[in-house]
Amino acid sequence: MDINRILLPAVMMDKSAINEIINCNELTSRYGLTLSQTAALKLVETRAEALSSNGRIEFSGGIINKIILAFSNSPFLSQSNYSTTLNELIEIFYYFKNETLDEISDDELISLMKKYFDQSCQGSIELLQNRELVALAHNIRYGISDYAGLCEDTDEAFDEEIFDE
Amino acid sequence: MNNLERQHLIKRESLNEAEYFLSILQEASRLKLLTDSKLESIQLQSIELLAGQTELYTGGESSSVKTETAQSIMQSIFYNIGVYLKSFPDPDMSLEAIKQKPLLELHRHGRKLVEKQIKSAVELLGAIRNDSIVTDNCAYNDTIENGISVFFSAYNADFAAHDTPASIDYPLSNDKMDLAGIEYIYNYLQKLFLENRFCKNFTGHDIHCLLRGYDDRYQDLLINIFGIVLTNVVGSVLAGKSAVQLNIEPIDREYLQQKLANLSKEKLDTRLQEASTQVCKELGISDEPLHEHVAATVMSLSAGFKRALENDRLESMFISFKENLSQPLILFEDGVQMNDELFRNITDEIRECRYVSDKIVIIQREIHSITDLIDLLEGYSIFDDEYAEIFQSLGDMELALLMKKSPAYMTDPDFLFEEDEKEWQSMLSCFFNDLDSTRRESIRELAGKIGIVTS
């Protein structure tokens, strides 16, 4: 049975997704961040590509809105890098849903991404992807209870230097 | 008056048992019994159902899942719907239900039926356990005791109803392998129950002797006990004996050969059908399912029966009892084992020997217990070709003892090797295969006569 064969109304889903993204502008405009119709469409396309390349399927409205709303108050986002960053965040999100073995919820992953992005990564997508989220995924795979590395003193938390070796 | 039989638009036999719902849709679509708009509506409803079930699966915590997960959930949904659709008397009525009722409702009904089948299957397994055949056949006992119960703890009727997570080794006669999930397990248990009931017409001792006649090591074989028992019962009836007489004597086979050898395939089939009916009558089998199962199994014997008659080899089909050996004729008491330190010194000494002839001399001088000999063979002191030379230096009695201490398949080249076979055992197996058949048989016979006394 080919599941993709029955998932026909993607166009319908896309339309409503774009509308939902545009509606977010009302809330994000207070931070000087807005998305055009074209940018919204690009986000939806990025999501479709990320889902496909990571072998995932999404049914509800998805996480684009959640990412937009979570990241809109980041001091490292401006109108000039807003759209590009969102596209990258969407790609990273689905990649790490797989890498974290679906062990953490959408909301928790987004909230951790935002926390790392604003704090330890200082707005760097590369550090977020290659350092913080790799460590998070490693900790989850090895069953470390403080997988998010929030308790600095814990011995079992992932050690960056050891991992780099 | 002629009987009028209703013609069905969709033939039951053209449908796939494991993917019943999808195959009805395919057939209906091929026969143009479903409009495009209805098909589209079914697709949309499928997605809605999948979305709902996926949300249940993730507990609402993730909006996306891996494609394989979604695929499994979708198969599970279709499986549950299929179970409900099978509850209708014919596929046309199932199609009508698909047209009239929302998919969600079909799924809900199916899920309830699956739950009901799980309950019935658990009860049936309990009944089978309480009244199983007393036999040493490992596959039979393991399947009933452990293999099937694994299914009930691992089965997930919501998200993987189409999976069959069980470890079933024991083969049934005419097993319906095209079923899946709980349907397969329930069907398996129903047939096993019937087969047990049939076999209960005979004593455990008779079945044991029959299976020993089939093969001395029947305990390790993946055989269907019911099939072997029924074949002999049919042989008895054909030979003019009573159905309760399980043993077929050589004279019975001669009689059958003379009486049936020249029959055409059709006439032989008729005889088998008659025999099947007589077996059921004599054994008081009145219920339809067992009757049908007996008839189907008997008819499946046809080709083999014809071949055996043509080759004058009825002994390959109708088996004579083989009674237990009463007592072992040779009692063997193992010699005194040496202490650990001495044993270590000797194995070290043997390991350091350059020539195998020196190793043999030390073994003959120092080893006086079969347990020590086996420990030595397992002790990384003997290498590659040295095994064969050491076995060559041993007498028939020592070799028979080694055989006795090895798994039952040791000298049977057709038998599958076990994963945990030790090196010396595999070397011994090769050594036996290279021996001339007379010596091999005499060692095997000797091994059969030895009884090891444990002190």
ipTM, 2 dp = 0.82
Q: Where a domain ends, among B324, B351, B369?
A: B324
What's the domain range around B37? Answer: 12-115
Chain A residues near residue B51 by CB distance under 8 angstroms: 59-60
User: What is the per-residue pLDDT for A4?
Assistant: 46
pLDDT band at A143 (very low <50, low <70, confident <90, very high): confident
Q: Where a domain ends, among B307, B324, B341?
A: B324
Question: Is residue B91 included in any domain, yes or no?
Answer: yes
User: What is the per-residue pLDDT for A98?
Assistant: 96
Place of tokens 């049939």: B198
Q: Where a domain ends, among B93, B115, B137?
A: B115
Contact A60 B65 (CB under 8 A): no
Contact A57 B66 (CB under 8 A): yes
Chain A residues near residue B46 by CB distance under 8 angstroms: 6
Which residues 59-98 of B are in CB contact (within 8 Å) with A? 61-68, 70-71, 74-75, 78
Q: Give yes or no: residues B102 and B25 share one domain.
A: yes
Contact A57 B64 (CB under 8 A): yes
Question: Is residue B233 included in any domain, yes or no?
Answer: yes
CB B404 within 8 A of CB B450: yes
CB B210 within 8 A of CB B233: no
What's the domain range around A157? Answer: 3-164
Euclidean distance between CA atoms B202 and A139, whole angstroms: 61
What is the distance of C-alpha B288 from the center of its chain? 25
pLDDT band at A103 (very low <50, low <70, confident <90, very high): very high
- List the beta bridge partners of residue B156: B160
Euclidean distance between CA atoms B319 and B247, whole angstroms: 7
Residue in chain A lying closest to B57 (CA)? A102
3-class SS string, chain B: CCCCCCCCCCCHHHCCCCCHHHHHHHHHHHCCCCCHHHHHHHHHHHHHHHHHHHHHHHCCCCCEEEHHHHHHHHHHHHHHHHHHHHCCCCHHHHHHHHHHCCHHHHHHHHHHHHHHHHHHHHHHHHHHHHCCCCCCCHHHHHHHHHHHHHHHHHCECCCECCCCCCCCCCCCCCCCCCCCHHHHHHHHHHHHHHHHHHHCCCCHHHHHHHHHHHCCCHHHCCCCHHHHHHHHHHHHHHCCCCCCCCCCCHHHHHHHHHHHCCCCHHHHHHHHHHHHHHHHHHCCCCCHHHHHHHHHHHHHCHHHHHHHHHCCCHHHCCCCCCCCCCCCCEEEECCCCCCHHHHHHHHHHHHHCCCHHHHHHHHHHHCCCHHHHHHHHCCCCCCCCHHHHHHHHCCHHHHHHHHHCCCCCCCCCCCCCCCCCCHHHHHHHHHHHHCCHHHHHHHHHHHHHEEEECC
**Interhelix angle for B288-300 vs B225-238, to 10°?**
80
User: What is the per-residue pLDDT for B405?
Assistant: 77
Question: Is residue B365 included in any domain, yes or no?
Answer: yes
B37 inside 8 A of chain A by CB: no
Expressed in percent and rounded to 5, the helix, strand and coil fractions of chain A are: 65, 0, 35
What count of residues does chain A have?
165
Selecting from B61, B63, B75 the residue whose C-beta is nearest the C-beta of A59 gives B63
Question: Is residue B406 included in any domain, yes or no?
Answer: yes
Chain A residues near residue B74 by CB distance under 8 angstroms: 1, 3, 6
Euclidean distance between CA atoms A6 and B47, whole angstroms: 7
Q: Give yes or no: residues B311 and B296 share one domain.
A: yes
Our count of domains for chain A comes to 1
Chain B residues near residue A57 by CB distance under 8 angstroms: 64-67, 70
The residues of chain B scoring below 50 in pLDDT are 1, 409, 411, 413-414, 416
CB A102 within 8 A of CB B65: yes
CA atoms within 13 A on the CB side of B78: 26
Q: Give yes or no: residues B432 and B349 share one domain.
A: yes
Average pLDDT over residues A124-147: 93
Place of tokens 């420990």: B375
Is the pLDDT at A154 greater than 50? The verdict is no
Question: Is residue B163 included in any domain, yes or no?
Answer: no
Our count of domains for chain B comes to 3
Chain A residues near residue B78 by CB distance under 8 angstroms: 1
Question: Is residue B5 included in any domain, yes or no?
Answer: no
Contact A56 B46 (CB under 8 A): no
Q: Give yes or no: residues B347 and B399 share one domain.
A: yes
Euclidean distance between CA atoms A52 and B415, whole angstroms: 48
> Strand, coil or helix: what is A57?
strand
User: What is the per-residue pLDDT for A49?
Assistant: 94
Residue type, B227: G
Q: Give yes or no: residues B343 and B421 share one domain.
A: yes
Chain B residues near residue A97 by CB distance under 8 angstroms: 62, 64
Q: Give yes or no: residues B439 and B344 share one domain.
A: yes
Question: Is residue B18 included in any domain, yes or no?
Answer: yes
Question: Is residue B6 included in any domain, yes or no?
Answer: no
The string of pLDDT tens digits covering residues B82-134 is 999 999 999 999 999 999 999 999 999 999 999 999 999 999 999 999 989 99
User: What is the per-residue pLDDT for B26?
Assistant: 93
Selecting from B22, B61, B64 the residue whose C-beta is nearest the C-beta of A1 gives B22
User: What is the per-residue pLDDT for B231?
Assistant: 96
Is the pLDDT at A43 greater than 60? The verdict is yes
